[in-house]
Structure 1
Amino acid sequence: MLVPAIAAPAFGQEAAEIDAEVTYETVVVTAQRREQSLQDVPVAVSAFTAEQLKNSSIETIQDLALRTPGLTVGAVDPIQNNFSLRGIGTAAGISQNAGGDGSVVVFVDGVYAGRGGTPDLDVLDLERVEVLRGPQGTLFGKNAIGGLIQFVSRKPSDTPSFFAEGTVGNFSRYNVTLRGNVPLSDKVFLSGGLAHKQRDGFEFNETTGNDVNDQDVTTARLAARFLPSENLDIVLRADGTWQDQAGNPRDNNCDATFNGGVHCVGVNPDPRIVNAYIDGQIFRQINSLSGELNWTTDFGTLTSLTALREVKYKFRTPFFSNPINPPTQIESTDFGREEATQFSQELRFAFEAMNDRLQGQVGLYYLDEDIDRLQGQIQDFPVPAQQGTAIYPQSVNAKSFAVFGQFDYAVTDTLTATVGARMTWEEKEGRFAGMKVSGPGLPPPLGSLDGYDVLASESWDALTPRFALNWQASDTVMLYASAAKGYKSGGFQGLSGTAAGASTPYDPEFAWGYELGAKTEWLNRRLTLNAALFKTDYEDLQISQLVPLCCVVVSNAAKAEIQGFEVEFVGRLTDNLRLDGSYSWLDTEFVEYRIPGTDYTGNELPRSPSGKYNIGAQYEAPIGDFRLLARVDYSWVDDAFFEASNVAAQLWPEHDNLDARLAVTLPDDRWQVSLWGKNLTDELVPTYVTYFGPFRQTLVPYSPPRTYGLSLSYTM
């Protein structure tokens, strides 16, 4: 399911007759690893063009989620996002350790981005962002059990261009973005970009007197394209991200319903004021190199994609502090560092045969990851026996190899059958340790940690097929039905209280997704309306459960059923006024989930709101020699739970969001001034909730408050 963009008629053009067909911009996507028109793809996919991203002030993955049906994004901190797509997601306890993977994956220009978070949208010079919903186990494979997000940048071209933008806003925000493209010859082109973002923190640490949850990030990108012959296209890319800023200490939510006693004495009730004994830190550095080669032959096109990605990451998060009321001081801190290196190689061959009735592609994929992570916990309670520090070093090597293929056969001129499969072999081996470096650290986890250092390894394999039929009922109506299997790799529990827990792997999880969809255009193409009805059978769920005062325990403890409905639309009411939006309904249930002493059968899956919608209105018109664009986006998300336990203390409350943008382009079509605002209703929205039942503690980080600013850009 998808929403195409509509190209606005040139200003000065006479108004079209009401019965005239509207001209559409053809949005090309690679949801099936080959270029296709958006409306021709029998896959549930939302696509956002560069123009849409700019007009809607989409800067982060959270902004994208507000406008994408079925997608929600939680965040343990500003870097570590937790995606959920159609009810399938990954708990923080799994995605944060070296032996675990996510259920919704990110690709940047075709390269799997396994660690390090999502990229900065500004510097990429994006052509579009695609969100594919449902299992994508055949063409994309590893860990795309819930779906995936693709960032696709523009390739260097023979057209010179330059873009510069400066932004100022509240919280002392300033951004600078520079991008350019230059042809060095008729066969060599170069493009690059540089961006810096900086602002003060959204929260204030009352203990240290400093702002926290600030931003200081710089990104850079360089790409070169070579066309040695008319049949050979080579693109080399390099990019880097450098981020070093204060942490985001947790707010100790002292609502009387969930908290009380000594833990809340003296804590400031303002959720934007924290009482942490330190500010914390977030540091991230990402460097990546990739080379893409496309060689067109008489038999088809051979694509080679080689990539190297290195990530360094450090964090220090005071997740519970009450240091302003001695002698009842209580402090708990999570800290760690990680270095990850990833090498990947993919070969694909796409071809057509039988007078173009058969379109197919086959391929090989190899991934090698080395992850070294050290995570620790500091516990400083008012009683000396309850003070201590523990560390958990982890070192993991993960290898994955796959063979895949997919074939589309035109049974008739209007009916196409698709069949595909991927066979994956994976192996993970690692060294896991846990030790106290000071103590005794009672109660657990420090008190129960006797110290261990173990080696462990495991291998898995999976076959993930896909079957589909799509019927082109008319020029403007396409119906499809599909069944696809997704697979998420098994792993190891990095933060374990025992040697047995650290050395025991958890198994992969699997999901079969069934979908009926329609992609349609109406009213002489003035209205695009797409819908999908889906059901997912989800097995061997990897569940992470926080055991209070102990640890996070991961197990394959559950089965679930998911069903839902999604609709997206875009329409032009007049030549100047456009409306677009989406709605999703989701019903999730654990049909089997029992752990010792607890039965969660019948509960909802985490981060799975039953209802979610957004609507945007955009008006664009000339005012004399100037051009005006005004846009408003409103979204609403139903309540959900952050954890499978479904306790009220971990409720993600229903919330809405209002964004607006007003842009004026000067007569030369080069300068543009934009006034924008985000979260204009100043909604207070948790991004994650940690609940310690025995002490009735609810610890929460929050999404940004109301922000606004002014941007000035120049395009050449």
Structure 2
Amino acid sequence: MAAIPGTALAQDAAVDTSGDIIVTAQRQEQKLQDVPVSVTAFGSEQLRDNNIETVADIATRTPGLSASAVDPINTNFAMRGIGSAPGISQNAGGDPSVVVFVDGVYAGRGGTPDLDVLDLERVEVLRGPQGTLFGKNAIGGIVQFVSRKPSADNSFYFEGTYGNYDRVGVIARGNMALTDKIYLSAGLSHKQRDGFEFNETTGHDVNDQNVTTGRVALRFVPTDTLDIILRADVSHQDQKGNPRHNNCDTSFDGGVHCVGINPDPRVVNAYIDGLIKRTTQSYSAEVNLDLPFGTLTSLTALRKVDFEFETPFFSNPINPPNQIESTDFGDEKNKQFSQELRLAFDAFDGRLSGQTGVYYLKENTDRVQGQIQDFATPAITGIGIFPQSVNARSFAIFGQLDYEIVPSLTATVGARMTWERKSGRFAGYKGDDGPGLPPPLGTLGGYDVTAAKKWKAFTPRFALNWKATDDVLLYGSVARGYKSGGFQGLSGTAAGASTPYDPEFAWSYEIGAKTDWFDRKLRINAALFKTDYSDLQVSQLVPLCCVVVSNAAKAKIKGAEVEVVVRPVQGLQLDGSYAWLDAKFSEYTIPGQAYTGNRLPRSPKHKFNIGGQYETPLGELSGKLRVDYSWVDDAYFEASNIPQQLWPSHQNLDARLSIAGPGEQWELSVWGKNLTDELVPTYVTYFGAYRQILTPYAPPRTYGVTVAFKI
């Protein structure tokens, strides 16, 4: 079913008697059409029909959401023009603008576990500042993964996949009742495939996949008023790296830097393949206690991530085996503990409802990132190393009240007070090097400094919604968003490393309508929004120096989203969306550069998707065909808006054809993704002095067959 802001349908998520999906976007169970915020929901059946496997697949189908990536692990989101750039993610103390939750637990660093093993009930995407209802504050928006709770229903699900690039995937999930009060669910997933690129120097495929994930959940319901869920998941990934393809700027004679480069974008010339290793662990305890005056929820979580990478980002075979090489390497260990307490309540016969809560987050990150430069002629090798150790603490009090002024007219008031502190030790120094090492390593002076900073912020929210008829909801809201500051992780100087960049703030204004027509055969939803940002955090590559994070003085954003679902006849559904976005810096300068008037990074002006789905009985069997097409306008990866940093317009075509047995006890499907074989960069690094354009790419055309059965 279509995924649309505030109107998305999902066939098999929790639904009410009228068939509408029930979501918890406002921390209470509501029909999606009754939620007066911009939220997109994907049910588990839709995730399967659209062959959604990654957060990038979700972004393709969600208006206002963009996803790029420097590597296959860490996705950089931008929601309605606001996102954390890769330069900020390289800082041990940097925070995301778009926050990811897995069953309520903040997934701050290191990406998310394999989505398949989660046994997802739904995925919710909330756009705009979120802070009055959720523990961790989010200035841009939230992506929330909600898995099924263990239940008394005994079930087992198995899925096997084979595809091109020798892809093999196996998923097994089960649920069982241990007693009449204790339920257990568990899952295991393994995926592997050959690489999408070929390294001519080593003779190996690179950018492959090899990931295994396990998950278990135990639920104890001793009484009608107490519900306890313990969850744990572990994921391990070990694969070759993602070397960059060197696209030399054809307007410039790059000399030795461009000689011998294979023009095929799926071929690289790196002296090593690189590597990506990641282990994530997440453990949580959720307790829900019904009281006479409301429901008290406690969520305690511990999350650990160990991430190691080695990426050849510039390689040139000028005289094999002697090469010019630049390599990024690093290791990060992140540990976070969080505790959230929430109380949901209502009064005055339901006219007043609300939630209040407190949240505490303790996060420790130790990161070592470095760069190696190798030059064949003359023989020079240099190593620059940037250790970072950051301790972050966050405490917040938040809450929101909904009051029914008169029947069908409801006012909302919310607020959040956040206190944060970050402290750390930052160093930068050179290893052994020969004479004449060029920048950036040649200009790096050694330093070892400590720094600390505190911030606090008050972020209110005001909203009004009117249920004009049973099928029409009108709403308007004003909200203030906040994201904490941080420190430069890859600074070229001691002063830069010890000087924090400031928090960013935003005032967001939105009006919207959610409507159903012709006995729900037609659904049209629309939203208009405007956002005023101050001190927006932007990372910029300073040529022959480093990545610098600075605060853009101001940015203004405005946009519109319109989405439609049509069900003209039984079994047929057509759905589509269009998003228009105007996101620009109103004031932004750095030494030697003026970016005022430039577009914000990863902010396409136009984006649309259209899908069609047809399901029909085939005797005792059933058949289903789903086709999705999307198109995204061009954008830029950095604030400079130079042509070399362009994120070109691109399209995506996915399709899936399936046949299912009686009661869907088994299913055979054939699927394809990126069927037009579009070449889409996921990021661009540009070194202007040498005209080097270094690019990783999204997956090419993939296809395969999947067989699944359940009991």
Superposition TM-score, scaled by structure 2 size: 0.97
Aligned to 1:195: 189
Where do residues 548-559 of structure 1 align in structure 2 (5 Å cutoff)? 548-559=543-554
Residues in 2 aligned to 1:345 and 1:338: alpha-carbon distance in whole angstroms? 23
> Is 1:503 the counterpart of 2:492 in the alignment?
no
- Opposite residue 242 of structure 2, the aligned amino acid is N
Matched length: 703
Residues in 1 aligned to 2:76 and 2:515: alpha-carbon distance in whole angstroms? 33
Contact persistence 2:287–2:297 (CA under 8 A) = yes
Give deviations 1:619-643, integer Å, cap 9, x for gaps: 0010111100001000000000010
Give deviations 1:52-96, integer Å, cap 9, x for gaps: 100011111111111000111000000011100100011111112
Aligned to 1:306: 300
- Opposite residue 540 of structure 2, the aligned amino acid is Q
Aligned to 1:544: 539
Where do residues 418-457 of structure 1 align in structure 2 (5 Å cutoff)? 418-440=412-434, 442-457=437-452
Aligned to 1:573: 568
Give deviations 1:528-555, integer Å, cap 9, x for gaps: 2111000000110112111112111111
Aligned to 1:16: none
Q: For structure 2, which runs of at least 5 residues remain unmatched after alignment?
A: none
Where do residues 230-309 of structure 1 align in structure 2 (5 Å cutoff)? 230-257=224-251, 260-309=254-303
- Opposite residue 616 of structure 2, the aligned amino acid is A
Residues in 2 aligned to 1:634 and 1:326: alpha-carbon distance in whole angstroms? 43
Residues in 2 aligned to 1:362 and 1:461: alpha-carbon distance in whole angstroms? 19
For residue 344 of structure 1, report the CA deviation from its aligned partner: 0.1
- Opposite residue 102 of structure 1, the aligned amino acid is P
For residue 3 of structure 1, report the CA deviation from its aligned partner: 2.9
Contact persistence 1:542–1:558 (CA under 8 A) = no
Residues in 2 aligned to 1:180 and 1:702: alpha-carbon distance in whole angstroms? 36
Contact persistence 2:182–2:221 (CA under 8 A) = yes
> Is 1:629 the counterpart of 2:624 in the alignment?
yes
Residues in 1 aligned to 2:352 and 2:252: alpha-carbon distance in whole angstroms? 61
> Is 1:5 the counterpart of 2:20 in the alignment?
no
Where do residues 206-225 of structure 1 align in structure 2 (5 Å cutoff)? 206-225=200-219
For residue 185 of structure 1, report the CA deviation from its aligned partner: 1.3
> Is 1:594 the counterpart of 2:592 in the alignment?
no
Aligned to 1:563: 558
For residue 668 of structure 1, report the CA deviation from its aligned partner: 5.7
Residues in 2 aligned to 1:543 and 1:4: alpha-carbon distance in whole angstroms? 32
Aligned to 2:473: 478
Gap change, CA 1:143 and 1:445, over 3 Å in 2: farther
| Aligned partner of 1:458 among 453, 464, 476 | 453
Where do residues 106-121 of structure 1 align in structure 2 (5 Å cutoff)? 106-121=100-115
Aligned to 2:139: 145
Residues in 1 aligned to 2:17 and 2:418: alpha-carbon distance in whole angstroms? 43
Residues in 1 aligned to 2:677 and 2:344: alpha-carbon distance in whole angstroms? 49
Residues in 2 aligned to 1:558 and 1:2: alpha-carbon distance in whole angstroms? 32
Aligned to 1:517: 512
> Is 1:403 the counterpart of 2:364 in the alignment?
no
For residue 24 of structure 1, report the CA deviation from its aligned partner: 5.1
Aligned to 2:121: 127
> Is 1:323 the counterpart of 2:327 in the alignment?
no
Aligned to 1:104: 98
- Opposite residue 4 of structure 1, the aligned amino acid is A
| Aligned partner of 2:57 among 58, 63, 72 | 63
Q: 1:649 is paired with a residue of what secondary structure? A: helix
Aligned to 1:662: 657
Contact persistence 1:7–1:24 (CA under 8 A) = no
Residues in 2 aligned to 1:676 and 1:258: alpha-carbon distance in whole angstroms? 43
Gap change, CA 1:340 and 1:6, over 3 Å in 2: closer
For residue 120 of structure 1, report the CA deviation from its aligned partner: 1.3
Residues in 2 aligned to 1:428 and 1:207: alpha-carbon distance in whole angstroms? 43
- Opposite residue 208 of structure 1, the aligned amino acid is T
| Aligned partner of 2:368 among 370, 374, 385 | 374
For residue 258 of structure 1, report the CA deviation from its aligned partner: 6.0
Q: 2:443 is paired with a residue of what secondary structure? A: coil
Contact persistence 1:385–1:442 (CA under 8 A) = no
Residues in 1 aligned to 2:204 and 2:321: alpha-carbon distance in whole angstroms? 23
Contact persistence 2:249–2:692 (CA under 8 A) = no
Aligned to 1:332: 326
Residues in 2 aligned to 1:329 and 1:621: alpha-carbon distance in whole angstroms? 59
Q: Which moved more, 1:564-573 or 1:58-67?
A: 564-573
Q: 1:157 is paired with a residue of what secondary structure? A: coil
- Opposite residue 42 of structure 1, the aligned amino acid is P
Where do residues 34-45 of structure 1 align in structure 2 (5 Å cutoff)? 34-45=28-39
Contact persistence 1:111–1:307 (CA under 8 A) = yes
For residue 259 of structure 1, report the CA deviation from its aligned partner: 6.3
- Opposite residue 470 of structure 1, the aligned amino acid is N
Contact persistence 2:10–2:44 (CA under 8 A) = no
Gap change, CA 1:106 and 1:523, over 3 Å in 2: same
Gap change, CA 1:139 and 1:330, over 3 Å in 2: same
For residue 669 of structure 1, report the CA deviation from its aligned partner: 2.9
Residues in 2 aligned to 1:2 and 1:409: alpha-carbon distance in whole angstroms? 21
Contact persistence 1:138–1:420 (CA under 8 A) = yes
- Opposite residue 197 of structure 2, the aligned amino acid is E
Aligned to 1:167: 161
For residue 142 of structure 1, report the CA deviation from its aligned partner: 4.2
| Aligned partner of 1:157 among 143, 151, 155 | 151
Q: 2:402 is paired with a residue of what secondary structure? A: strand
Aligned to 1:186: 180
For residue 558 of structure 1, report the CA deviation from its aligned partner: 2.9
Residues in 2 aligned to 1:527 and 1:288: alpha-carbon distance in whole angstroms? 42
For residue 438 of structure 1, report the CA deviation from its aligned partner: 1.5
Q: 2:192 is paired with a residue of what secondary structure? A: strand
| Aligned partner of 1:487 among 457, 482, 488 | 482
Residues in 1 aligned to 2:272 and 2:251: alpha-carbon distance in whole angstroms? 28
Residues in 1 aligned to 2:336 and 2:175: alpha-carbon distance in whole angstroms? 29
- Opposite residue 47 of structure 1, the aligned amino acid is A
For residue 329 of structure 1, report the CA deviation from its aligned partner: 2.8
Residues in 2 aligned to 1:142 and 1:221: alpha-carbon distance in whole angstroms? 23
Contact persistence 1:105–1:147 (CA under 8 A) = yes
Q: 1:135 is paired with a residue of what secondary structure? A: coil
Residues in 2 aligned to 1:608 and 1:510: alpha-carbon distance in whole angstroms? 18
Residues in 2 aligned to 1:466 and 1:601: alpha-carbon distance in whole angstroms? 29
Contact persistence 1:577–1:618 (CA under 8 A) = yes
Residues in 2 aligned to 1:6 and 1:80: alpha-carbon distance in whole angstroms? 28
- RMSD of equivalent CA atoms: 1.5
- Opposite residue 46 of structure 2, the aligned amino acid is Q
- Opposite residue 634 of structure 2, the aligned amino acid is D
Q: 1:94 is paired with a residue of what secondary structure? A: helix
Aligned to 1:645: 640
Q: 1:606 is paired with a residue of what secondary structure? A: coil
Q: 2:693 is paired with a residue of what secondary structure? A: strand
Aligned to 2:602: 607
- Opposite residue 640 of structure 1, the aligned amino acid is A
Residues in 2 aligned to 1:288 and 1:114: alpha-carbon distance in whole angstroms? 12
Q: 1:101 is paired with a residue of what secondary structure? A: coil
Gap change, CA 1:214 and 1:451, over 3 Å in 2: same
Residues in 2 aligned to 1:507 and 1:208: alpha-carbon distance in whole angstroms? 44
Residues in 2 aligned to 1:662 and 1:400: alpha-carbon distance in whole angstroms? 47
- Opposite residue 8 of structure 2, the aligned amino acid is P
Runs of 4+ in 1 over 6 A off after TM superposition: none
Give deviations 1:662-704, integer Å, cap 9, x for gaps: 0001236311100000000000000000011111110000000
